[in-house]
Amino acid sequence: MAVLLLPVVKIGWDAATGGLGANPIEAVQNRLGFWTLVILALALVPTPAKDLLGVSWPQRLRRILGVTAFGYALAHFLFYVGVDKFFDWQTISRDLTRRPFLMVGFAALLCLVPLAVTSTDGWLLRLGYRRWKLLHRLVYVAAALAVVHFAWRVKADPTRPLLFAAVFALLLLARVPGWIRAARR
Amino acid sequence: MARWKPDLRGSEATPEETWLRRRDFLRLGAAGAIGAAASALPLPAGAGEDDPSGEVLPVARKLEMAGGEKPTPWKSVTTYNNFYEFGTDKADPAKRASGLRVRPWTLAVEGEVKKARAIGIEEILKMAPLEERIYRFRCVEAWSMVVPWVGFPLSELLKRVEPTSRAKYVVFETLLDKAQMPGQASRILEWPYTEGLRIDEAMNPLTLLAVGLYGRVLPPQNGAPLRVITPWKYGFKGAKSIVRMRLVEEQPRTTWALMAPTEYGFYGNVNPAVDHPRWSQAKERRLGEFFRRDTLPFNGYAAEVAGLYAGLDPRKLY
């Protein structure tokens, strides 16, 4: 799944060739956030793909997609801490306690932490499938918080955050038939 | 890190030889653009390769008013713009504004004036000797640049229309033309973009009616053919591509203050002590620099303008 690293390769390439524009730090920060949302959405595709279309091969990609989404989210956060704010803890702590736009983004990241930790086969066995699945529904909370974070970030044009909101809503909706089927069983 | 030395006596013009060497750093490319400050890591910003282009303006005198700091490279100044009439991405204006028709261009000056007039851009360009003024430019989004504007004090124009005693504010209106300004098709802001200044702010010698940049005519993405620059205020206060100035008695309703009253006030004075609700205004990133630097009260122009606000609560002047 090296393709999931292409956005990072592109960032590296653009950084080396001047393609990040006049404010490269802002550009990298925005791109990492954007790709977090894209890959998080992709991670939610396999299950409805199987339920609705009977396509089951994407199932094998769920884990790598989910873990990669977490990786992008973490990179986005670490870039903010270590590059954008350069470990200015005073500003960072104020940001994360007083500014709702940053608080929801941080909360989204925190939601993803237990999911990344329990992404291994070992944890799946330890928790049992039922509990594991319940825990991993946190991904919807993370997605919702991430979209709100994006929406509060933009100054005037809500088009792109709304697009992500629509995509996540559709992906959630696409799971309903599967749930109904499971309930009947 | 080179410490900040406020040198705000803008009356000292840059020595000729410094001026002549002003593009040396541009030729050095990205590394040079970042400056010699030891703390600045070289960022491959890609800016600086491109020399200024466009029609050369006759500049009568030069005022260095950014504490001796090097201007931000032309390429950065002309490719990183907030000009929502051409899209909300900062790269949009440079891509989409090039077709803006800036000739002929007429500015209507009306309202509480004795001599309301419509003035053609050609006349405006000859109205007063053109000056180059190197100002700091601080965006409300906490980034900043140093820009060599070309223009003349707005007061030169306003004096000619003879404001009446009821003229308390000046309203600036940007062109409204969906065909030329594709961003106006979506109602993300109330068009036309409207900004305003108190009359004493508008008459302050720092307030510039800018028609150029780096000795050339203003590129469309920077607000051609004429815009207002108030260097002690956040950038959004400087209306671009202005077609109308109205002198009025009441404080006008301005675009961003209407859009988000808790985030953008009428004054928009640069103030590190008053945060934007979503981010701190205490520091800013100068384009081309790695580390954020401290934001200065009134963007470093307190000596020139703080007197305008004597007796007013500075916390209300965001």
Does the structure show a pLDDT above 90 at B33?
Answer: no
* Cα–Cα distance, B283 to B143 (Å, whole number): 9
How far is C-alpha A82 from the geometric centre of its chain's CA atoms? 20
Does the structure show a pLDDT above 50 at B42?
Answer: no
CATH (domain of B260): 3.90.420.10
The mean pLDDT of B127-144, rounded to a whole number, is 97
Q: Tell me whether residues A23 and B30 touch, CB distance under 8 A.
A: no
The mean pLDDT of A15-30, rounded to a whole number, is 94
**Which structural domain, as residue segments, surrounds residue B176?**
16-316
CB B230 within 8 A of CB B197: yes
Measure Cα distances from A105 to A8, A66, A68, B146, B240 in Å.
20, 17, 17, 32, 34
The verdict on B2 touching A (C-beta cutoff 8 Å) is: no
pLDDT at B300: 97
What share of chain B in percent tops pLDDT 70? 84
pLDDT at B41: 44
pLDDT at B32: 37
The answer to whether position B130 is within a domain reads yes
- Of the candidate ranges B5-9, B167-171, B191-195, the one whose mean pLDDT is the lowest: B5-9
Measure Cα distances from A158 to B19, B88, B126, B274 in Å.
44, 10, 43, 26
The verdict on B292 touching A (C-beta cutoff 8 Å) is: yes
The answer to whether position B178 is within a domain reads yes
> Measured between CB atoms, which of A18, A23, A155 is closest to B30?
A18
What share of chain A in percent tops pLDDT 70? 100
The answer to whether position B312 is within a domain reads yes
pLDDT grade for A179, boundaries at 50, 70 and 90: confident
B222 vs B46, residue with greater confidence: B222
The verdict on B283 touching A (C-beta cutoff 8 Å) is: yes
Residue of chain B whose alpha carbon sits nearest to that of A13: B44
The answer to whether position B3 is within a domain reads no
Does the structure show a pLDDT above 70 at B7?
Answer: no
Does the structure show a pLDDT above 50 at A144?
Answer: yes
Parallel, antiparallel or unpaired: strands B61-65 and B131-138: parallel
pLDDT at B157: 98
- The total domain count for chain B is 1
**Which structural domain, as residue segments, surrounds residue A162?**
2-184
**Count of helices and strands (H, E) across chain A:** 11, 0
Dihedral angle sign, alpha carbons of residues A91, A155, A29, B298: negative
The mean pLDDT of A117-146, rounded to a whole number, is 95
Q: How far is B279 from chain A (nearest CA, A)?
A: 7
Q: How far is B93 from chain A (nearest CA, A)?
A: 13
Task: Measure the CA angle with vertex A91, ends A87 and A97; round to 5°.
Answer: 115
The answer to whether position B4 is within a domain reads no
pLDDT at A21: 93
Neighbours of B6 (CB within 10 A): 11
The answer to whether position B287 is within a domain reads yes
| Tens digit of each residue's pLDDT (9 = 90 or more) over B48-89 | 347 899 999 999 999 999 999 999 999 999 999 999 999 999
Q: Counting Cβ atoms within 10 Å, is residue B58 exposed (0-12), middle (13-18) or buried (19+)?
A: exposed
Q: Tell me whether residues A95 and B280 touch, CB distance under 8 A.
A: yes
Does the structure show a pLDDT above 60 at B27?
Answer: no
The verdict on B30 touching A (C-beta cutoff 8 Å) is: yes
pLDDT at B262: 87
Helix pair A46-53, A176-184: axis angle to 10 deg: 60
Q: Measured between beta carbons, which residues in chain B are less than 8 angstroms from residue A152?
A: 278
pLDDT at B34: 36
> Measured between CB atoms, which of A18, A94, A153 is closest to B280?
A94
Parallel, antiparallel or unpaired: strands B169-174 and B143-153: unpaired
Does the structure show a pLDDT above 90 at B30?
Answer: no
CB B283 within 8 A of CB B242: no
Task: Report the candidate in B1, B9, B49 with the shortest Cα–Cα distance to residue B25.
Answer: B49
pLDDT at A156: 85
The mean pLDDT of A72-90, rounded to a whole number, is 96
Neighbours of A27 (CB within 10 A): 19
* Cα–Cα distance, A95 to B162 (Å, whole number): 48
- The total domain count for chain A is 1
The verdict on B75 touching A (C-beta cutoff 8 Å) is: yes
* Cα–Cα distance, B197 to A127 (Å, whole number): 64
pLDDT at B44: 44
pLDDT at B37: 39
The answer to whether position B181 is within a domain reads yes
CB B137 within 8 A of CB B206: no
Does the structure show a pLDDT above 80 at B180?
Answer: yes
The answer to whether position B5 is within a domain reads no
pLDDT at B26: 41
Q: Tell me whether residues A23 and B278 touch, CB distance under 8 A.
A: no
* Cα–Cα distance, B279 to A53 (Å, whole number): 45
Residue of chain B whose alpha carbon sits nearest to that of A11: B44
Q: How far is A152 from chain B (nearest CA, A)?
A: 8
In this structure, which amino acid lies at residue B198? R
The verdict on B273 touching A (C-beta cutoff 8 Å) is: no
pTM equals: 0.86
* Cα–Cα distance, B56 to A182 (Å, whole number): 73
Q: What average pLDDT is seen over chain B?
A: 87
pLDDT at B8: 43
B55 vs B13, residue with greater confidence: B55
B223 vs B2, residue with greater confidence: B223
B123 vs B14, residue with greater confidence: B123
pLDDT at B313: 79
